[in-house]
Structure 1
Amino acid sequence: MSVEPLDHRLFDCVQVNLAELADRVHGAGTHLALGRVLRFWPRPGADGLPTVEPPVDAQVTESAELLGLRVTRRARIGSAGELEPGPGCYVVADAYHLPWVPYHRKQHLEHSFLIEPAEDGVTVVDGYHNDTQWGAARPGRWPLGHAELAEALPDGALAFDVVAGDRPADRTPLVELADAGSYVATYADHPDRERALRGLTLQTWLLTRSRRLHAAATGPVTDAVRAHLAEWDALAKQVYLASRRVSAGRAEPRALFGRLAECLAADHTAFDGTLPAATESTVDSVGVSPELRESVAAAIGTVLGTEPPAGARTLGDIPGFSSFRMMEIVERIESDLGVEFAAEDLVPEKLTHVDGLCRAVLAAGGTR
């Protein structure tokens, strides 16, 4: 049986370093046990908005159990001096103060890492993999002196000692999905649209990542599941684009809430393989002049540092392209060509294709 290497992209920032520990103590591939359970249980969150993000303590407890780990100590520490670096020293702290992540001095959120002893301080081990609007987070090891560690934990942290338990044997899928009606309606009807869409950006990111993890853990991945995951990916990107537009005072694409409801409803059948197989999306290029295509390609090149190759349709293969750069490309095209894209055109299916971007320009009244 082949052993699956740890794909850090499947995990959120609390899960990923427990997955690292599980593979260390039980062997490569153990991390996939964390994907056995797929759950949609929203709970009350900040600002009257529901969240699928569990409390840290609950998430650590359940994740450790699924991975065959035991928490022998849990403490709220007030300073870095109270840490006990070692092979199972797992810490959750505010990413705003952590110098190795792109959230440093940018955003407050709970983030996990491992602390190992080193000769002149400690070594931070962090397997988190994500692209953010402030840059990329990638797995790595970072040496910190004792003073640097203290500076990274000015408000203390949650510290756990984690050791090996029984190797997880049960890989039976468990799917627990609550009704999504009130969840979708709350985000759709919340009076603070900027706050709602900012929150929904995180929600759809978490929902998408958890479904990818579940699919990887319970595979093989069928065409139906692959199509469902692609729809979740597209939705998460669309929500991010909508959030950026609303924060700039522009129109909101209301259709995304219907798409969210459809994705959540499809969860009930997707992992039984009963969804239709994916079909490759195409974008109509009729009516796109060479001049317009050149102008759009030039804007793309300005943002990404390289223009799409001649005849290219999709942007996904260009180094540096991501959903965060997608919004920069849209804004650059609007600025260069003097147009404003319609809210309904802010969907990844159009914005990740050269011709789709050209059609959006034409729909907005542009000609060149």
Structure 2
Amino acid sequence: MTAALPLHDDYAEQLDCIQANLAALAARHHGPHAALGFGATLGFAPKPGPHGLPGVEPDLDAHLASADAHLGLRVDARWRVAPSAHAAVLPDDRDSVYVIADAFHLPWVPYCAHQHMAHSFIIERDDGGLRATDHYWNDTQWGPARPGSWRLSDAELAAALRDGAEVIALTPHTLAPPLPEPRYVAPASADVEAYLAAYRGHPDRPAALAQLTLETWLLARSRRLHVALRTRRGEDPARWSDTLREWRGVVEQTYLALRRVQRGHPEPGAALDRLAALLANEPASFAAPTFRERVAAEVAAVLRVDAAALRAGEPFTIAPTFSSFRIVEIVERLEERLGVSFDPDDLVPENLHRLDDLCRIARLSAKEPT
């Protein structure tokens, strides 16, 4: 295996090991922000998982459906490669494929020879040979996983796929709009209570805490990605700075509890209480943006400026792109996307150069004046 070619991903730290390489493929066709599509819908939907515990990790089919809906990637073909048939991983009519195999056998990830788990990567052609590209980013107890690309010999590919692999060919399609509308789905309180009770009452504490460590890690990453999407669409990330800091704290506290129990020490308390408080506060934290924030986001998208500057009172004229053409585009965009119907007498320059002035005349007739 050749030395890694380092790669850069803006959102790698917010993606799990299945999402990361779907997002990388989408970015090749739709640009570097395509990964944000995975943050479109934020919720809490546990289902039965390992050790009789509920889990929030989406399955592969759910990830592929999300990639189709929000990343502009559609499954073109899907097949299973047997352990002895590694040569079939990349057919002659394909330049690249998305692969899922056991991380235990993948020499470029820290899980190699340590932990069995499904892990994705991309196989593509490279000067007559094959290259494995992996955009996953994580820190583990065995070392860091970082985005990179490695040329594999035939023997190395065979070893990496010794237990077989699932292979998926993906085709890009047009995204409209380029970034999806963010949506938060509040869970039923009974579902949250049942989830927490399952972890509190599980008799195998090391197993419960190991699973809970994964759970909090997944929940924290998904919330960071959702905030990144909402920020990209013009909302103020300061709204969630405390929430995201609390999520980081829960992840750290849960992992510390796991390590203490694994070493035979008493289980530190409060991790589940902290998680319960976070989940209880989420509906208010991730409520729909205010009308003013939505208007700022739309204006920022037209003018290609930071929405935070507009919310702070800067005039629209700070944008190098500002012109009467952009003003017309802003008015039409607000009418189409926010349901605003302006009074013609209000459409004068004095009302169309600052956010608060625009909101004042827009709020008079908006369908959702919040």
Partner of 1:234: 249
**Shift of residue 87, structure 1, vs aligned partner:** 4.2
Q: Which amino acid aligns with 2:33?
A: G
1:190 and 2:202 are equivalent in the alignment: yes
Per-residue deviation, residues 300-349 of structure 1 (Å, max 9, x unmatched): xxxxxxxxxxxxxxxxxxxxxxxxxxxxxxxxxxxxxxxxxxxxxxxxxx
1:62 and 2:66 are equivalent in the alignment: yes
Structure 2 contact 12–20 (Cα < 8 Å) conserved:
yes
Per-residue deviation, residues 78-134 of structure 1 (Å, max 9, x unmatched): 131211164441011110110000000000111110001123531111000100000
Per-residue deviation, residues 189-231 of structure 1 (Å, max 9, x unmatched): 1010110001100000000000000000111343330100000
Partner secondary structure for residue 90 of structure 1: strand
Aligned partner of 2:87 among 66, 81, 84: 81
Structure 1 contact 187–196 (Cα < 8 Å) conserved:
yes
Q: Distance in 2 between matches of 1:110 and 1:221?
A: 36
Q: What are the within-5 Å matches in structure 2 for residues 199-348 of structure 1?
A: 199-219=211-231, 220-272=235-287
Partner of 1:116: 124
Structure 1 contact 96–108 (Cα < 8 Å) conserved:
yes
Q: Which amino acid aligns with 1:114?
A: I
Q: Distance in 2 between matches of 1:60 and 1:162?
A: 10
Structure 1 contact 33–168 (Cα < 8 Å) conserved:
no
Structure 1 contact 17–128 (Cα < 8 Å) conserved:
yes
**Shift of residue 162, structure 1, vs aligned partner:** 0.6
Moved more, 173-182 or 151-160: 173-182
The verdict on how the C-alpha distance between 1:147 and 1:113 changes in structure 2, with shifts beyond 3 A counting, is same
Q: Distance in 2 between matches of 1:161 and 1:13?
A: 18
Q: What are the within-5 Å matches in structure 2 for residues 59-208 of structure 1?
A: 59-78=63-82, 79-84=85-90, 86-169=94-177, 171-179=180-188, 180-208=192-220
Q: Distance in 2 between matches of 1:72 and 1:120?
A: 24
The verdict on how the C-alpha distance between 1:16 and 1:221 changes in structure 2, with shifts beyond 3 A counting, is farther
Partner secondary structure for residue 185 of structure 2: strand
Q: What is the alpha-carbon root mean square deviation over aligned residues?
A: 1.8
Q: Which amino acid aligns with 1:198?
A: A
Partner of 2:22: 18
Partner of 1:327: none
The verdict on how the C-alpha distance between 1:138 and 1:172 changes in structure 2, with shifts beyond 3 A counting, is same
Q: Which amino acid aligns with 1:153?
A: L
Partner of 1:303: none
Normalised by the length of structure 1, the TM-score is 0.70
Q: Distance in 2 between matches of 1:168 and 1:150?
A: 40
Normalised by the length of structure 2, the TM-score is 0.70
Q: Distance in 1 between matches of 2:259 and 2:101?
A: 27
Q: Distance in 2 between matches of 1:123 and 1:226?
A: 39
Partner secondary structure for residue 177 of structure 1: coil
Partner secondary structure for residue 100 of structure 1: coil
Partner secondary structure for residue 236 of structure 1: helix
Partner of 1:39: 43
Q: Distance in 2 between matches of 1:223 and 1:130?
A: 25
The alignment-based identity, stated in percent, is 45
Q: Distance in 2 between matches of 1:237 and 1:175?
A: 25
Q: Distance in 2 between matches of 1:233 and 1:87?
A: 39
**Shift of residue 146, structure 1, vs aligned partner:** 1.3
Q: Which amino acid aligns with 2:35?
A: H
Partner secondary structure for residue 40 of structure 1: coil
Partner secondary structure for residue 265 of structure 2: coil
